[in-house]
Amino acid sequence: MPYEWLLFDADGTLFDYDGAEEKALTGTFEEFQIPFLPNYGEIYQTVNKNLWKLFEQGKIALADLRVRRFFDLFQQTGLNTDPEKFSDRYLFHLGQSADLMPFVLETLQQLEKDYHMAIITNGISKVQRSRIAISPIESLFDGLFISEEIGFSKPAAGYFDAVMDALYHPKKESVLVIGDSLSSDMRGGINYGLDTCWFNPLGNPNTLNLPVTYQIQDLRQLLPLLDKR
């Protein structure tokens, strides 16, 4: 059966999250008139990634994650700054960055001729809606599913239940999940019985040993892959 629905993760798959994060972080430090030292970015990334893993496991609420990552950053760097106020401004800056990963626009423009497409994301609602609204890809998608609005996050089955309900229950074999995260996108899709395509531009090892259906390093590789299907 050919695929009918392509479900794309947002950050790290469609959007250049690393670049957006760096811009938002340095911009917020500048707004607060705090010198941004070279090691601050590395400390923040480590803290942030660990907290998002806890979020995927249901061990921390998104509202707590938003502030906790800056509380931990400031504790480790000795900065005396209000993490809640800093978080609010950081999210504003993050929502203004809609840079795409390489070849995203031209690939999606080809795919939308033959497939229904939706975005599935664990990102923060006001950030994701802002970024998508100012990006050139908004009109190419038939749906946007944000975990904060759904009440479940990837990889939970409840998240995919909500997505499939909204899509009027397509057959599982007609749906492909495309994303860069093994722990949320690939694990979530596989556990739900969907085919998966791991977007792995750096050629990282499959440390979770998940049976992904496909693996690509360049989004343009989706086109011949889907043609064969």
State whether the Cα torsion 30-90-180-105 is positive or negative.
negative
Closest CA to 10 of 161, 143, 195, 203: 143
Q: Is pTM, for the whole model, over 0.85?
A: yes
pLDDT mean by block of 10 residues, the chain; 229 residues: 95 95 96 95 95 93 95 96 97 95 97 97 94 96 96 96 97 98 97 98 97 97 92
Q: Which residues are catalytic?
A: 9
Let me know whether 59 and 128 are in one domain: no
Task: Please state, in angstroms and rounded to a whole number, the distance separating the CA atoms of residues 144 and 10.
Answer: 10
Let me know whether 178 and 139 are in one domain: yes
Let me know whether 45 and 129 are in one domain: no
Structural domains counted in the chain: 2
Which domain-ending residue is among 95, 127, 152? Answer: 95
Beta strands in 65-208, from DSSP E residues, in sequence order: 116-121, 143-146, 175-179, 195-199
Query: Under 8 Å CB-to-CB from 30, ≥6 apart: which residues?
Result: 36
Which domain-ending residue is among 95, 124, 155? Answer: 95
pLDDT at 153: 94
Let me know whether 146 and 90 are in one domain: no
Q: State the first-to-last Cα distance of the chain, in angstroms, to the nearest integer.
A: 8
- Give pLDDT tens digits for 32-91: 999 999 899 999 999 999 999 999 999 999 999 999 999 999 999 999 999 999 999 999
